[in-house]
Amino acid sequence: MSKLSYTKALNRALGDALAEDPAVFVLGEDIGAGLAGPTLGLLDRFGPGRVVDTPLSEQAFTGMAVGAALAGRKPVIEFQIPALLFLVFEQLVNQAHKFSLMTGGQTGVPLTCLVPGSGSRDGWAGQHSDHPYSLFAHAGVKTVVPATPTDAYGLLLSAVRDPDPVVVFAPAAVLGVRENVTWELAPVPLGSARVHRPGTDVTVVAVGHLVHEALAVAEELAGEISVEVLDPRTLHPFDWAALAASLERTGRLVVIDDSNRSCGIGAEILATAAEEMRLTAPPRRITRPDGAVLPFAPALDRALQPGREQLLHAVRSVVKNPWR
């Protein structure tokens, strides 16, 4: 048995992907030095032809990765900060994502983007604290947010093997999480949700680091309310069947999601559940405010993030309030 950290799990997945397929290569800023963690030691192991340190030219190297993918390679780009995705939205959404359809299926673009440290990091302020996974789900890019070390390993490996572009968000708040691993690490299929804790009264859908908050709330409420914690793991394509099955059991839904409220993935989950699934009470979601920009001061930053107290309150209220 060993303790596996989330960052180490990403590191293992990249190492295994590089080892199993010579088409795979990793590129990004300061990755030779392993500054962010996931690429630590890979340059020594695989050399500068497979682990490529780039100048600060995100648009060019993302576009270059698209080109390399069209030429048969499988690039993995590590982005130092989530805001860099805004710079390369063109290359990811308007180029990589559209090639399969626009070429009539002649090619896919097997490109993986890894964002270690997404969401708030204490004290990094407005331009370094975004969590834009809903933007990619909205655009239709495959989008993954692992919550645990074993899922981080399994989903990143599947993302690299996938024939389409995939963006993998590794929230800053889980990078330090460690897990006892007694089994072989294995790939986790994209598009499959995971029930972390079964329950019968309320389904809490939690995204990324918030899975751990949801589990804490479920534990706190045990004996009073039976909470099922469902982690979608992949936001696009979403495992709607798993959500429907869970709501068949509970009939009540609360979503906790680190997106801005309007047009966030939490909104989509509530809407789909309301349209298509069994709900015995009005659903709730906990998100960042509409259009939030995280302020610098730690107390202000925390005030805008979805939190445990709000979740506790929402779970109690959906149990008390059926449709009128």
Binding site for other proteins (CB under 8 A): 29-30, 32-33, 35, 53, 55-57, 59-60, 81, 83, 87, 121-128, 261-262, 284-293, 295-306, 310, 313-314
Residue whose CB is less far from ligand TPP, 84 or 273 = 84
Strands across the sheet with 227-231, in order? 194-197, 227-231, 202-206, 253-260, 284-288
CA distance 9 to 148: 9
The interface partner of residue 292, options being ligand TPP, other proteins, none and the CB cut-off 5 to 8 Å by kind, is other proteins
- Secondary structure tally for the chain: helices H, strands E: 13, 14
User: 16 to 75, contacts with ligand TPP by CB under 6 A?
Assistant: 29, 56, 58
Q: How far is the CB of 237 from other proteins (least distance, A)?
A: 26
Question: Which ranges in 99-144 belong to alpha helices (H)?
Answer: 99-102, 133-139
The interface partner of residue 102, options being ligand TPP, other proteins, none and the CB cut-off 5 to 8 Å by kind, is none
Other Cβ atoms closer than 10 A to 60: 13
Question: Which ranges in the chain belong to alpha helices (H)?
Answer: 6-20, 42-46, 58-70, 84-87, 89, 99-102, 133-139, 149-161, 210-221, 240-250, 265-276, 298-303, 308-320
Residue whose CB is less far from ligand TPP, 26 or 225 = 26
212 is catalytic: no
Quote the tokens at residue 269: 């989950």
Please select the residue that binds ligand TPP; options are 31, 42, 69, 84, rule is CB under 6 A: 84
Query: What x-and-dash track marks residues 88-127 binding ligand TPP by CB under 6 A?
Result: ----------------------------------------
Q: How far is the CB of 300 from other proteins (least distance, A)?
A: 4
Residues 6+ apart with CB under 8 A from 45: 15, 18
Query: In the complex, which residues of this chain contact ligand TPP (CB under 6 A)?
Result: 29, 56, 58, 80-81, 84
Catalytic residues: 128
